[in-house]
Amino acid sequence: MLMSRPLEPIALAWRVALGFSFFVLFVATWSIATLGGFVSKTFLADPITMVQDGWTLLTRFGFVADIAITISRVLGGFLIASIIAVPIGILMGAYKPVEAFFEPFVSFARYLPASAFIPLLILWAGIGETQKLLVIFIGSVFQIILMVAVSVGSTRRDLVEAAYTLGARDRGVVQRVLIPASAPDIAEILRLVLGWAWTYVIVAELIGSSSGIGHMIIDSQALLATGQMIFGIIVIGLIGLVSDFLFKMVNKKFFRWRLT
Amino acid sequence: MIDQIINTVPAFSTKAPAKLLVEGVSRQFSSGRGRAPIRALEPTDLAISENDFITILGPSGCGKSTLLRIVAGLAKPTAGRVLLGGRPVTGPGPDRGMVFQSYTLFPWLTVAENIAFGLRERGTPAKRRSEIVSAFVSKVGLSGFESHYPMQLSGGMQQRTAIARALANDPEILLLDEPFGALDNQTRGLMQELLLGIWERERKTVIFVTHDIEEAIFMASRVIVMTARPGRIKADIAVNLPHPRHYTIKTSPEFLRLKEQLTEEIRAEAVMAALEH
């Protein structure tokens, strides 16, 4: 690390080793702080207790079902948001009147904090699944619309001009130039927003819910079971890591032209 | 009224009827409130006969690209009009193939798919499409690279694909905007020979914009010299070098004489342009 120069690439093995070593350092610090008696067990469980608590959760309290329901909520809300937001974003990027119509409102709406909607959404939709999906939907939809619109709108003009001189019409330009040109960006935007959707679902589950990872965490708080809480948080992190990895794999496969 | 007069009076006494007519085309850009507009292109007349290879030579900022973009329909003239085969140009279309200076291959399509783009847009059946594509792949010497993506190609190969893509559409006229400007000297020489070879076989009508004097003479049957600020045509010089042209022609006395003449024409302009800044 110290021998490296700015922007100089490093070998894969070295890269993996460095990435892994920070996890080791993190757990080591945590172990010293807790097992060494520097931090009270009431406030922070040690790693061993955390793993034991996690095992109990998984084997005896059906935590797997909680994980499954949280994942399905995130995917559901995110999917609905994507299906609506991506086409609107593409239209906004391609057609300036559409952009002029939506852009000011969407720019305003994306600063509305999704978590602040939760009390209102509970009034409207109760504490069922609809409310959870709506929180994720509100949190994601405006972000996706705006970012997709920017990406499509910044398509290289010379590619569009080339398509016109080859006989493409407006529809052809949108379908066969603007969309494929920004497809990798759109995939990247979705990956990013999916990460944010995880935050919204947990917040939604912390307030008014009877299942899910967030619900387990708030339940554990009442029992001062910090080991369980930390286990829940780590599970969220791991799922995020896996979904990120899957997204990257899919992008790599679909957008080979960009990476080679 | 004026249109009628222009149409009825044979204004140009060229042997063949003009394929492309540029009539009083000018272009101004507004330069902000209260200031005089920038005259990118003075009213320009130009007649190009069928099968002609015209190069437009001029220093940067002389409006040569503007003129070409107006012919392509990618820019609107402030005044005047362009007629292709008697029909006025109103926007870009497949009858005017264009090769740009920047690399404009669609990066998500392979070489073959890029060449097939225009054919797909007009709905050519897949079988006919692949026949045309493979014919043009070999014409530009890219056999074996059909399924490569643009990112895997050198600049010269990308521009060869771009030329094939424009020609595969069988345009009435081929427009090239400094297509070899970003290539190194050796590659540029090879590309000139390749394009000229294709033209000698197929006799497309071509307008080729460049700032390179040698390139302008080597390729052309007519060199149009343009001047900067305001952009206008300064000279129209016939190049009567025999075809097929070999690169060795670049050292022939006739070639060198033309080069000297054009160098003088351009130099006076470049000096003036430099003094203005």
What CA–CA distance (Å, rounded) separates A74 from A96?
32
Q: How far is CA A189 from the centre of its chain?
A: 10
Confidence at residue B277, expressed as pLDDT on a 0 to 100 scale: 58
Residue A138's closest CA among A204, A90, A217? A204
Looking at the complex, report in whole angstroms how far the Cα of residue B13 sits from the nearest Cα belonging to chain A: 31
Both tokens of residue A128? 């069922």
> Would you say residue B107 has pLDDT above 90?
yes
Q: Are B199 and B53 in contact (CB under 8 A)?
A: yes
What CA–CA distance (Å, rounded) separates B88 from B21?
9
Q: Are B211 and B178 in contact (CB under 8 A)?
A: yes
* CB contact B115 to A (< 8 Å): no
Annotate B218-273 with DSSP letters as a single string.
HH-SEEEEEETTTTEEEEEEE----SS--GGGGGSHHHHHHHHHHHHHHHHHHHHH
Domain range summary for chain B, segments of one domain joined by +? 2-95+174-186+204-276, 100-170
* CB contact B163 to A (< 8 Å): no
Confidence at residue A85, expressed as pLDDT on a 0 to 100 scale: 96
CATH of B2-95+174-186+204-276, one of 3.90.1170.30, 3.40.50.720, 3.90.420.10, 3.40.50.300: 3.40.50.300
* CB contact B232 to A (< 8 Å): no
- Which among B71, B104, B129, B161 is the top mutation candidate for probing chain A, defined by the most A β-carbons within 10 Å of its own β-carbon? B104
Q: How far is CA A21 from CA A15, A16, A25, A49, B91, in A?
A: 10, 8, 6, 22, 61
pLDDT in tens, B43-58: 889 999 988 999 999 8
The CATH number of domain A47-259 is 3.50.30.40: no
Confidence at residue A259, expressed as pLDDT on a 0 to 100 scale: 64
pLDDT in tens, B21-37: 999 898 988 877 777 88
Looking at the complex, report in whole angstroms how far the Cα of residue A162 sits from the nearest Cα belonging to chain B: 7
Which chain B residues have a beta carbon less than 8 Å from that of A180? 106, 108-109
pLDDT in tens, B165-216: 999 999 999 999 999 988 898 899 999 999 999 998 888 899 999 989 999 9
Measured between CA atoms, the residue of chain B closest to residue A161 is B74
| pLDDT range class, residue B7, cuts 50, 70, 90 | very low
Q: Are B261 and B217 in contact (CB under 8 A)?
A: no
Domain range summary for chain A, segments of one domain joined by +? 1-39, 47-259
Residues A167, B104: C-beta atoms closer than 8 Å: no
Q: Are B96 and B171 in contact (CB under 8 A)?
A: yes
Which chain A residues have a beta carbon less than 8 Å from that of B100? 158, 161-162
What ipTM did this prediction achieve?
0.88
Backbone angles phi, psi at A220, to 5 degrees: -65, -30
Residue B226's closest CA among B62, B65, B21? B62
Q: Average pLDDT over chain B, rounded to whole?
A: 87
pTM equals: 0.86
Return averaged pLDDT per consecutive 10 residues of chain A, 260 residues in all: 78 93 95 91 89 92 92 94 97 96 94 87 87 92 96 95 95 95 94 91 86 91 89 92 90 80
